[in-house]
Structure 1
C-alpha cells in the first residue's frame, strides 16, 4: 500500500536522477573558495594602502565636523572613496592631497572596482560558460565510445582502447555515482551521472551517435537492461558487454550485444591455465594487455596477400574473419585469402598502436 504523496516523491527522485548535468573534463584550476579569498585579500590590500596614503597626508584633508582628520577618519574616507559613495564630509583641500587623489587614489579606486566586479561577473558567467562548453561538446561529438560503468572492468577496457590511439575526447563514461564520474573526468573523460538503464541518461551521453558501447556494470541484470536500452537507441553501434555468470551470456546476446565477455569464467580459465603452464598464462596475459609485449589485432587482407594461404603472410595469423564467421588459420576453406577477409594476427607491440580503418584491436576484458 502506497502512502499519500509517495508517487510524487518517486517522480521527483527520478527527475533528479535523469536531469543531472553532464560533466566535462577541465584543466586543473584553483578551488572557487580560494579564488574568491585571493580577490578579497587583494581588495583589502588596496583598501589598507589607500588608508595609509590618506593618513600620511591627513593635513591636506578637512573634516566638516571637527576640521581635523585622524586614523579613523582616514579609514572612513578611503572606504567611501573606493566604493564611490563620496559623502563629501571629508575633502582634500591642499594641492598635494588633490594631486594624490588624481594620481594614486583614483587608480586604486578603479582597481578596487575591477576586483569586486570581476569576481561578481565570474560567478554570474560560470553557468553560461558551462552551457556553452556543453553545447559545443554535443555538437562535435560523433562516432565516440560510451562506457557504462567505470569500475575495474570499465577502466581496464578504456585503458586498452586508449592504448591503441583512441582519444579521451571521444569517450563518455556513464555511472550512477558522482564520485566515480568525478574520477573519470579527472582522467580526462567526459562523464554523465545517472542510471544507464534509462534512455534519458544514455541520450545525454549522445549514445545515438556512438560507434561503440562498452557495458561494464556490476550486475548482470543491469547489463541486460542497459544493452536493451542502448540497442533501441542505436541500431548500428557495436555493443560489447561483460557478465559475471556464463549462463547470462545468451540473454545479453538476445538483448543486442555483439560480443559478451564472461568475466568470472575468463578469469577462472586464466587461473587454470596459469596453474597448468605459468608461461602460457603469462603469454595470454601479455596478449590481452594492449601496448606491451605482443598485441593481438584485426586487420584487412592486403592486395598482395589475396590468393595466398594464412601461413604465407608476413604476420602470425591465428584466425580469418570471413563474413560473420571466424575460421581457424588451418581451416580448409581458407586456403586462399580473399580481399574481403580480415585477419586476426599477433604482432609485436609498438609504443602506441594507432587505430585506423585497416587495423583495430580485438575487444578484451
Structure 2
C-alpha cells in the first residue's frame, strides 16, 4: 500500500472541508447577498460551529440556506475530526512517517543479501548471514510471523513487509543494488516467480532458491537460479548418514557451529593476502605453522577447485583459498595475512 492510499481518508476529509468552505462562501454571497469578506466570515463561524454574531440579519432565503448548511457541516465536521483523531491520536500518521523514513533508509542500502520469506529456512539463513557480518534485508508479507518469531530483533534490522513475488516489493528491497537473494517461500511456484523477477531486475545477482519438489529444481535453474536447495532431501540424507557415517556427520556438525568444538570454513581471495610476490606456493606462505589454519582447497582462475592441495601448489591472482580452522585460528590468519 503506497502512501497516497494510506492518506486517502485524510485527503477526502480535507477535500470535503474545502468544498464546504467554497459552498458556504458562494452560498452566502449569492443567497445571503453578502460581499466576499462577509460571506467567508459567515462560512468560517458556521463551519467551525463557534456561532459568533452575524454580520447582518439574514434574508428568509439566507436563513434556510444557513439551516441546511449547518446540518451539512455537522456531518463533515464530525467526519473530519474522526479522521484527524485517528491519524494523530491512534498513531497512524506516525506510522506513515516512520514508513516513509524507512523507505528513505532502504534507498541507501547496497551490496546486501535479500531473504524472501521468514519461516524456518529464512530465519536460519538470516541468523547465519548476520553471524558472518553480512547486511541482510528480509521480505515477508505476514507481519504476524515477524512479530511472533522469537529473537527476531536480533536476527535482522531491515524489513520490507510485502509480497516478494511483486516487482515493486523487490525494487523497494533494493534488488538492483543487492549482491544476492535467497528465496525460501513455502510455494515452489512463488520461488520460481521470484527467481525470474530477480534475474530480470539484476542480471548479475546471485540467486539461491528453495524447492520442495524435485521437478521444480530444473525450472528454478532455467529461471536463473545459481543454486537450488531442497531442505527435505537434505534432511533425509542427513538422517541416513547418521546411521552409516556418524563420525562424518559429527564433523559436519562442528562446521555448522554445533557441539563444544566449533570449526569455521572461510574463503579469501589471494589478492587480499599480504605477500611479497605475485605468485607464491602454500609452503612459502607457511599458513598452518603460523596460524593453525589448514588450506583444504584452492579455486583457480579457471573456476576449478583443487581439494587438499599439495604444499607446492602455486597460487596467484584470481585464486581463492578455502580455509578450515577454529574461530581463533581463522582470526589469527586474518591478522597475520590479510591486508589492512
Say if 2:163 is the partner of 1:213. no
Q: CA deviation at 1:127?
A: 4.4
Say if 2:272 is the partner of 1:299. no
Matching residue of 2:136: 171
Q: Where does 1:50-129 land on structure 2 (aligned, <5 Å)?
A: 123=91, 126-127=94-95, 129=97
Say if 2:298 is the partner of 1:320. yes
Say if 2:167 is the partner of 1:199. yes
CA contact (8 A) 1:298 1:344 kept: yes
Q: State TM-score, norm by structure 1.
A: 0.56
CA contact (8 A) 1:174 1:191 kept: yes
Which deviations, in whole Å up to 9, do the C-alpha atoms of 1:257-300 show, x marking residues without a partner? 22222222222222222112322212112213489700111112
Matching residue of 1:284: 252
Give distance in 1, aligned partners of 2:98 and 2:125. Answer: 29
Give distance in 1, aligned partners of 2:258 and 2:204. Answer: 26
Give distance in 1, aligned partners of 2:103 and 2:136. Answer: 16
Which deviations, in whole Å up to 9, do the C-alpha atoms of 1:110-149 show, x marking residues without a partner? xxxxxxx9x9589485146314422431332222221001
- Aligned to 2:171, the other structure's residue is in SS state helix
CA contact (8 A) 1:163 1:290 kept: no
Q: How much is the aligned-residue C-alpha RMSD, in angstroms?
A: 3.9
Give distance in 1, aligned partners of 2:129 and 2:280. Answer: 32
Say if 2:145 is the partner of 1:180. yes
CA contact (8 A) 1:300 1:342 kept: yes
CA contact (8 A) 2:221 2:227 kept: yes
Segments of 5+ residues of structure 2 without an aligned counterpart are: 7-49, 51-84
Say if 2:318 is the partner of 1:340. yes
Give distance in 2, aligned partners of 1:19 and 1:323. Answer: 51
Give distance in 1, aligned partners of 2:3 and 2:243. Answer: 47
Q: Where does 1:221-240 land on structure 2 (aligned, <5 Å)?
A: 221-240=189-208
CA contact (8 A) 1:18 1:200 kept: no
Give distance in 2, aligned partners of 1:351 and 1:317. Answer: 12
Say if 2:106 is the partner of 1:138. yes
Give distance in 1, aligned partners of 2:329 and 2:230. Answer: 29
Matching residue of 1:162: 130
CA contact (8 A) 2:129 2:136 kept: no
Matching residue of 1:349: 327
Matching residue of 1:308: 281
Matching residue of 1:81: none
Give the direction of change, closer, same or farther, for the CA distance of 1:183–1:200 in structure 2 (3 Å limit). farther
Give the direction of change, closer, same or farther, for the CA distance of 1:290–1:222 in structure 2 (3 Å limit). farther
Give the direction of change, closer, same or farther, for the CA distance of 1:331–1:281 in structure 2 (3 Å limit). same
Segments of 5+ residues of structure 1 without an aligned counterpart are: 1-15, 22-84, 86-116, 360-365
Q: State TM-score, norm by structure 2.
A: 0.60
Q: CA deviation at 1:236?
A: 2.0
Give distance in 2, aligned partners of 1:153 and 1:19. Answer: 35
Give distance in 1, aligned partners of 2:5 and 2:235. Answer: 36
